[in-house]
Amino acid sequence: MIRQQQSWVSAALQRPMEFLRFGDRGFGVIMFPTSMGSFHQYEDMNTVGWLADKVEAGFIQLFCVDSVDAESWYNKQVAPALRAQRHAQYDRYLREEMVPYVQAATGRDDLGVFGCSFGGYHAANFAASYPGVVTKAVCFSGIYDIHQFLDGYWDDTCYFNCPTAYIPNMDVEWTDRLSQIQWTIATGEYDSLVDDNRQFSALLSGRGIPNHCEIWPGVFGHDWRWWNENVRRFY
């Protein structure tokens, strides 16, 4: 399997951003790590290994990006407004720098996103923000509401990066665009976030946005064992 580690100094973030690319043909998938995780997490935890045959066959390429969670939503050392601003800079890095790279690498305009736990938040938020660019979103054990990171603060940047806030207010044109995304939301029956995932699926369904929700019976589900066992069914 072709593996490349690359980086550049992000104009949006003003710091180096590394990522791993696996494969050289096929549909591109941006993979978001779990909370404060690094770009090599999916390789370290063997998620990439579970998809290796599909990468080698040229069905998909994987682009494992780094996070700035420790500088944004998880950074309790700065005011919530600054946390939100840092996330907005990360969003610009993804949309203005990473997406064009993936599109050039794949030779196509669309891509998929994948994330587990807080990576599920990133995947869902990015997909809902950029439908058309993102045509497939797979979110395992995710959270979709960022109020817990804001200490009671709220502004437009927070609103437009909180899927449970802005999706209910989307007009028909936007919900139609989100309906073109192939959504998957899944976790285990005993995950402490199981209700968050059910509710996010119900939110999409309530706006007429088709989605596939799986609650794996009899398991915790919020860990690498279950994520790895299920990822290849969706990518």
- What secondary structure does DSSP assign to 158-215, as a single string? HHTT-HHHHGGG--HHHHHHHHTSEEEEEEETT-TTHHHHHHHHHHHHHTT---EEEE
What is the per-residue pLDDT across 139-192, written as a single tens digit (0 to 9) for each?
999 999 999 999 999 999 999 999 999 999 999 999 999 999 999 999 999 999
Residue 129: pLDDT band with limits 50, 70, 90:
very high
Residue 69 has a pLDDT of 98
Superfamily of domain 3-231: Alpha/Beta hydrolase fold, catalytic domain (3.40.50.1820)
Residue 183 has a pLDDT of 98
Q: Where are the domains of the chain?
A: 3-231
CA dihedral 95, 170, 184, 112 (to 10 degrees): -20
Residue 77 has a pLDDT of 97
220's tokens: 């915790």
The 10 Å Cβ neighbour count of residue 180 is: 13
Residue 92 has a pLDDT of 98
Residue 27 has a pLDDT of 98
Residue 207 has a pLDDT of 97
| Helix segments in the chain, DSSP class H | 41-44, 47-50, 52-56, 80-92, 99-106, 118-129, 156-159, 163-166, 172-179, 194-206, 224-231
Residue type at 190? Answer: Y
Residue 73 has a pLDDT of 98
Residue 114: pLDDT band with limits 50, 70, 90:
very high
What integer best gives the mean pLDDT of the chain? 98
What is the per-residue pLDDT across 11-66, written as a single tens digit (0 to 9) for each?
999 999 999 999 999 999 999 999 999 999 999 999 999 999 999 999 999 999 99
Say what the pTM is.
0.97
Work out the average pLDDT over 198-208.
98
Residue 94 has a pLDDT of 98
